[in-house]
Amino acid sequence: MKVLDRLSLIDRIGRQLQSQMSFGEIDTYLKAHKIDIKKPTSGVNSKWVYVKELLADEKDPAVLRIADELGIPHNYTVADAEKAVEATFWDPSHFKLFLSHLSSFKKTTGQLQAALKGYGISAFVAHVDIEPTREWLAEIEAGLYSMDALAAILMPGFKESNWTDQEIGIAVGRSVLVIPIIRGLVPYGFLARYQGLSAEGKTVSLVASEIFQILVKSPKTRSRMLSCLIDTTIQSLSVPDATLKLSLLDSIEDIPVAHFEKLRDSAAASVVLSSGEPLKQLNATLVKRKLRPVSLAQPLDTFDDDIPF
């Protein structure tokens, strides 16, 4: 793992165990993962610090396995006992959606990938995203073990593929949300338990919109999808992107207030959100929810460099 990714993951593990367990329970839990709980620590009376110190020198696979069990998202998978593989294709701060599809449908799947980007969703399309120089099987495995959800494009030939059923099997085994997209083939096997999304006669943009609606409503993905939508709104680099995401946020019911407060508090540092239509739209959304609008600090007095001393 990259050093910063590793430190961030250990920090999140520490905070989660701190909120869920006593010191004794933490010892029992980490010992079950073969972590040496007898190694010297600073003795600081903080479960968060204690966990971080115990995990500081552990190998990446051990840290990743604990994170996976706790449901803490990351972009890595354990390829073997000693090696952690990073999924390099996910866009930062985006919801991670694996698109399981036939190679013959890669053009339309790539168009769906582009459409989903506007919703704060980074979609993985194997035939587009894997660099020719990288081991494609390891990359696909990394995507499957770091994804937040999977969408399967069901069409004739899908069931006969050597890979698609295995991709779905991993998703089911990890208990992540699976969205069957029906395009000529009805859900079968494990997929039959999931509510299918019919794509017959629909445009790519409409299918992308309906995928987003499923992700934002499902108990398995709602929290993660909302967090990603907030983060990608804050990071918007264009007015159209910001206004689209703000419209989406305004249309979703029962979003926790903390999300809007984060958006408001971050707006001043964003060139896009702090001016023009996005600022007007954001403030209208905040006022609608009885929250304080964005208040930008008055600019400091400027001076002319050419004034004689």
pLDDT computed for residue 137 by the predictor:
75
**For residue 118, with 0-12 CB atoms within 10 Å meaning exposed, 13-18 middle and 19 or more buried, which class applies?**
middle
Whether residues 66 and 113 share a domain: the answer is: no
39 found inside a domain = yes
d(CA 18, CA 138): 33
Domain extent, residue 147, equals 95-217
Given a contact cutoff of 8 angstroms between Cβ atoms, the answer to whether 228 and 93 are in contact is yes
Give tens-digit pLDDT for 162-185: 788 888 888 888 889 999 999 988
The alpha carbon of 91 is separated from its chain's Cα centroid by a whole number of angstroms, namely: 9
Q: Which of 112, 23, 16 is nearest to 73 (CA)?
A: 16
C-alpha dist (Å) from residue 215 to 47, 188, 203, 207, 309:
34, 21, 19, 12, 62
Whether residues 193 and 273 share a domain: the answer is: no
Structure tokens at 137: 């099987």
d(CA 263, CA 133): 39
Whether residues 197 and 245 share a domain: the answer is: no
Whether residues 200 and 273 share a domain: the answer is: no
Whether residues 211 and 145 share a domain: the answer is: yes
Amino acid type, 81: A
- The number of distinct structural domains making up the chain is 3
Whether residues 135 and 59 share a domain: the answer is: no
Whether residues 41 and 129 share a domain: the answer is: no
Q: What is the pTM of this model?
A: 0.72
Whether residues 188 and 138 share a domain: the answer is: yes
Tell me the sheet residues that pair with 152.
100, 180
Whether residues 28 and 132 share a domain: the answer is: no
176 found inside a domain = yes
pLDDT computed for residue 136 by the predictor:
67
What is the SS3 assignment for 75? coil
Q: Which of 89, 97, 88 is nearest to 119 (CA)?
A: 97
pLDDT computed for residue 300 by the predictor:
42
Q: Which of 183, 222, 203, 195 is nearest to 105 (CA)?
A: 183
Provide the residue count of the chain.
309
Helix and strand totals (H; E) in the chain? 13, 7
Whether residues 211 and 248 share a domain: the answer is: no
Instruction: Supply the CATH number for residue 103's domain.
Output: 3.40.50.10140
90 found inside a domain = no
The alpha carbon of 16 is separated from its chain's Cα centroid by a whole number of angstroms, namely: 18
pLDDT computed for residue 98 by the predictor:
93
308 found inside a domain = no
293 found inside a domain = no
199 found inside a domain = yes
Whether residues 102 and 157 share a domain: the answer is: yes
Show pLDDT as tens, one digit a residue, over the chain (309 residues).
888 888 999 999 999 999 999 999 999 999 999 999 998 899 889 999 999 999 999 988 889 889 888 878 787 766 554 556 667 788 988 999 999 888 778 788 889 999 999 999 999 887 554 554 456 677 788 888 889 999 999 989 888 887 888 888 888 888 899 999 999 888 888 888 888 899 989 999 999 999 999 999 999 999 999 999 999 999 999 999 999 999 999 999 899 999 999 999 999 889 999 989 999 999 999 999 999 998 876 444 445 556 565
pLDDT computed for residue 135 by the predictor:
63
301 found inside a domain = no
Whether residues 119 and 183 share a domain: the answer is: yes
53 found inside a domain = yes
What is the SS3 assignment for 151? strand
